[in-house]
Chains A and B, each alone.
Chain A
Amino acid sequence: MISTYDPMTALIGGALIGLAATLLLWLNGRIAGVSGILAGAIAAPGPERDWRTAFLVGLIFGPVVFAFFGGTLPRPVLPPLPEIAIAGVLVGFGTQLGGGCTSGHGVCGLARLSPRSLAATMTFVATAMVTVFLVRHIGGV
């Protein structure tokens, strides 16, 4: 599989994610961890749920706005449904048990030089790489 990539666009896209994390902290004092925000948005009603819901609505509209201004969105190719369901449960449960995901630990945590987030990030990148290796090169788990 040959994939093309554009480092500068990736850097700018990443910088926008950083800008979003900065905005959420400067304005609301909150950490932009999507798994934590999602978990809070499905919890009990109240102001703590409202801002999280608003963030998620914005997040969903982001790619729509991007496409409106001419950006190209991918047509994701996903594995069979049982695998999708198992993966989703693992991601949901794991991010709650581990206290964060790629954005909370990987972006915000590393930016704060948090040893806890560094440990989490190295762990999930490692198990993800092992999983991809097993699925693609060994032939299933």
Chain B
Amino acid sequence: MMRIASAALAGLVFGIGLALSGMLDPVRVLGFLDITGGAWDPTLVFVLAGAVGVTAIGYGLAGRRAQPLYDESFRWPTTTAIDPGLFGGAAMFGVGWGLVGYCPGPAVASIGFAGTPTAIFCLALVGGMILHRVLPVAAANPR
């Protein structure tokens, strides 16, 4: 029960952070990605700096504890491979991100207010995930 509540709290704070930072507006994100347009929007750099900075401190402090409050161990990622799957997947993701200006966090966070096109993006997002699960490529690149 506490695990559910704490995950919901983390999601809520995440969503408020995205809204406050302006990252729910795909136009703003595209303004960061458009480096030749003459009106470059650096907002995303400040958002990333704030997020990475606080996360680095928070993660660093967690290293002093044996376990999280509501689970038995910290589930740090174990995959370290820098392989074709990583580059290929990241490259595909970037193309989709550049087409619309949505990455998964802002897209999902916008479902409640942004209307049908955003919902369609989220459905396609889930479709892409399911596609990855059913195609043989998934077996070659275990998560």
Contacts and interface: CB of A to CB of B under 8 A. Distances in A.
A28 B70 contact: yes
B15 A85 contact: no
Contacts, number: 512
Size band of the A side of the interface?
35 or more
B29 to A, nearest CB: 9
Given A55-B7, A93-B132, A94-B91, A87 B96 contact: yes
A27 B69 contact: yes
B91 A20 contact: no
User: Which secondary structure characterizes the binding site on chain A?
Assistant: helix
Interface of A: 1-3, 5, 7, 9-32, 34-36, 38-39, 42, 47, 50-52, 54-67, 71, 73-79, 81, 83-99, 101-103, 105-112, 114-116, 119-121, 123-133, 135-137
Contact of B127 (A67, A92, A94, A133): A92
28 contacts: A3-B43, A5-B46, A9-B21, A10-B46, A14-B46, A16-B50, A23-B10, A25-B58, A54-B4, A60-B108, A63-B24, A64-B113, A76-B26, A91-B103, A91-B128, A92-B125, A92-B130, A94-B95, A97-B85, A99-B89, A107-B48, A107-B55, A109-B77, A111-B51, A111-B58, A128-B98, A131-B98, A135-B99
Interface string B86-97: 111111111111
A77 B26 contact: yes
Given A28-B3, A29-B68, A98-B86, A131 B123 contact: no
A38 B62 contact: no
Most B CB contacts (10 A, CB to CB) among A2, A31, A63, A115 go to A63
B59 to A, nearest CB: 6
User: Which secondary structure characterizes the binding site on chain B?
Assistant: helix
A18 B52 CA distance: 6
Given A51-B7, A88-B125, A9 B20 contact: yes
